Amino acid sequence: MRRHLHAEWTKLRTLPGTGPLLLALVAVTVTVSVVAAAVVSCAPAGCGHDPARISLFGIQAGQAVVAVLAVTAISGEFGTGMIRTTLAAMPHRMAVLAAKAVLLAGLTLAAGGVAVLGSALAGPRVLLGNGFPPPAYDGPMVRAAFGSVLYLALVALLSLGVATAVRDSAAAIGVVLGLLYLFPAVILMIPDPDLAELLWQISPTTAGLSIQATTQLSALPLAPWAGLGVLAAWAAAALLTGGLLLRARDA
């Protein structure tokens, strides 16, 4: 496995887009979080907004950057045919995919940690000027921040699995962005509340982002960690499907 990790790390760090995309993840996430905090106000009598969700709102934009990073980590090899060289040198295909997943998750956790930390520090300061109470960096906020970092890593693994199965970068990005953005939009248009709640519970985005909730937890269709577990199940299924197809098909 060490040989696979070394080879995949060499490829990943030499891709021209890896560094800029990691920087973009941090910049986009923090910027959108600050903008979201700037446009929300709270009356002196109180408001129903969750300050943690607002402060970490940029995750919903940063996940698109993560998806692009994960897809390009493998789709470029399919596009150029370099995957044949990779699999000729390392015939254990599942180990190749596992090495990509480990390194991609590690990079996403590192950059996502910086992005979430910046959002968690900057967002509450902006909210404080808009009538919100002083930030409380207690257990729920720590859980929301830590869970948001895990959320980004799981999005990366989901995207890697989809890209491995689909092989085409444009198609893979379309599928992932559809799951992340179109699926939640469709839920909002469902008139049946029971069906809408069911779709909310199985959507990787709406269920996964419940990890950010720190208020009105009893009103959530899923508990925060259970919601993140739904996204983990999506990521595991995508990686398993991609791995099986990688092993079954010709390079």
Q: pLDDT, tens digit, for every residue of 43-66?
A: 766 687 889 999 999 999 999 999
Distance CA 173, CA 162 (A): 8
pLDDT of 248: 82
Percent of the chain with pLDDT over 90: 67
Condensed to tens digits (0 to 9), the pLDDT of residues 25-40 reads 999 999 999 999 999 8
d(CA 204, CA 228): 8
Cα–Cα distance between 95 and 185 in angstroms, integer? 36
SS percent in the chain: helix, strand, coil, step 5: 80, 0, 20
CA 144, CA 48: separation in Å to the nearest integer?
17
The angle at the Cα of 144, spanning 199 to 190, to the nearest 5 degrees, equals 15
Q: Tokens at residue 123, please? A: 């967002």
Q: Are 90 and 183 in contact (CB under 8 A)?
A: no
User: 93: which 2 tokens?
Assistant: 């295909």
Question: Residue 250: what pLDDT?
Answer: 67
Region of 213 on the Ramachandran plot (φ > 0 left; ψ -120 to 50 alpha; else beta): beta
Beta carbons of 144 and 56 less than 8 angstroms apart: yes
Q: In 10 A of CB 81, how many CB atoms?
A: 9
73 in Cβ contact with 12 (< 8 Å): yes
Given this model, what pLDDT does residue 45 score? 63
User: How far apart are the C-alpha atoms of 215 and 208, rounded to whole Å?
Assistant: 16
Q: Is residue 90 over pLDDT 80?
A: no
Backbone angles phi, psi at 120, to 5 degrees: -70, -25
pTM strictly above 0.85: yes
Q: Do residues 140 and 50 lie in contact, with contact meaning Cβ atoms separated by under 8 Å?
A: no
What residue segments make up the domains of the chain, in order of their start? 2-39+46-248
Q: Which among 213, 63, 138, 181 is positioned nearest to 222, based on CA atoms?
A: 213
Residue 49 near residue 40, CB atoms below 8 Å: yes
Output 181 or 137, whichever has higher pLDDT: 181
Contact 225, 150 (CB under 8 A): no
Q: Which two tokens stand for residue 32?
A: 């959108």
What separation in angstroms does the CA of 125 have from each of 7, 12, 121, 182, 209?
43, 36, 7, 32, 22
